[in-house]
Amino acid sequence: MSAQSVEYTHDPRVAPLPRTIQAIGDALSGAPRMAFFAEALSAAQGRPLDAVIDRWWAEAMLSLLPGREQRLAEVMAGENLSVLPDDLGDGA
């Protein structure tokens, strides 16, 4: 796998984010951004760097979703949760 630009169009509220160190770093902020750059700078070229880019690209895409921080705070506080059906995952 290479670090080429890949479009992600599943959620129309989120613009495609290239799988590049620069784009991922720009999408992240604060401690996650610093952690990403630390991992990217210490990763060897090839599969190790590709794995860092894959993991943090996904995190960067999620960070771009509108209202993500509010939803995470609500989940952590146990507020506004959805009730799932009892038979979820039964394969029926």
pLDDT at 24 over 80: yes
pLDDT tens digits, one per residue of 68-85: 788 888 888 988 888 878
Full residue range of the structural domain in which residue 73 is found? 21-77
- Count of domains observed in the chain: 1
84 in a domain, yes or no? no
92 in a domain, yes or no? no
33 in a domain, yes or no? yes
70 in a domain, yes or no? yes
What pTM does this model have?
0.63
DSSP 52-90: HHHHHHHHHHHHTSTTHHHHHHHHHHT-SPPPPPTTTTS
- Is residue 24 a contact partner of residue 33, using CB atoms and an 8 Å limit? no
6 in a domain, yes or no? no
Q: How confident is the model at residue 37, as a pLDDT? A: 98
